[in-house]
Structure 1
Amino acid sequence: MAAPLEIRNSATGKIFPAIGPLIIGVMFGFGALRGLASGANSGHVLVIALLALACLALGFFIARGAFDTSVKVVLDDNGFRDRRAGDVLVPWQNVRSVRLASGGKGAAMLNFELTGEPPDEIKYSAVNALSRMLPFGKNIVHMEISSLDVQGQDMIEAIRRLAPHVAVEG
């Protein structure tokens, strides 16, 4: 029995995407303050202030994941479990193939092709909303990996070790 691979959030994978909205929020905030100081229309200043608050809130929402140290994804002998997408075990015998979406170290997505439809917990999770809308790929489970503390190639190697029957594409 191989040891399970427990994967957590990456601090840099969460902090760096938060920098953009925070910078934009600060810029809108300074714009709102300058508008107040110059006597601009209060309606326009309010809109700019609300945009600043929205950008800052988005930045802090994204950044808070960097401090979440709980296990997000588990790969073991039984299958895989993504706590961000339904937190249900998908047995390896239900997985036909896996593909690293963009290849190399910068890959952002693992796509698992299942032999049937995914469990309802995954199918109706928020991270799988796109698959529900598109007419194809109903048996594909998408796992975002760019915010995790392991690289895509390491996950592929773990899948090869844990489930040698699963075809690895790309």
Structure 2
Amino acid sequence: MDNTHAQTTILVTGPARSGKSEWAERLAHESGRPVLYIATAREDPDDADWTARIAAHRQRRPAHWLTLCSPTELELALLTVGTGECCLLVDSLGTWVANLLELDDAAWSTHCAQVLDALVQRPAALVILVAEETGWGVIPAYPQGRVFRDRLGALVRRLGPRADATYLVTGGYALDLRRLGVPIDRA
């Protein structure tokens, strides 16, 4: 990984169980920087499956990585934690979006704009964002599912062109979309 940029943003996206978190963790490790893991999940002791998923993520991370739980205030975390030498690993944007589904469209737009601004103003040298791809299946039959899918899809679409590297992880492979892809939104 190139460590010569003052600030670098990497977006890692893909479907469920594709390996995107593992790829993001590998990139963080290979950066050679101290890593601060920003977890967006809320723990729920009544949900054994969710608890097991969180535990699996924790067990996979090196013990020396610090973890910050930030289920809703991602923009604040991006602006206030880390240093110019560290790597922030945010896992995941889909969970963050789900945690804010109750917001109306105006409040949601404000949160998104604040996160995009924070990515530019942050103190950390490297930020790796993990995001789920939700629009590859059927259109959800219930309104809240459609809001989630649309909000996350729009956020990922806005982040991709702003990121210095964008990876799609699927089928056991990480594809470098900057190198292989053609941008559809040209200024």
- TM-score normalized by the length of structure 2: 0.23
Q: Which has the higher contact order (CA 8 A, sep 6+)?
A: 2
Q: Which one has a bigger Cα radius of gyration?
A: 1
Q: Which has the higher helix share?
A: 1
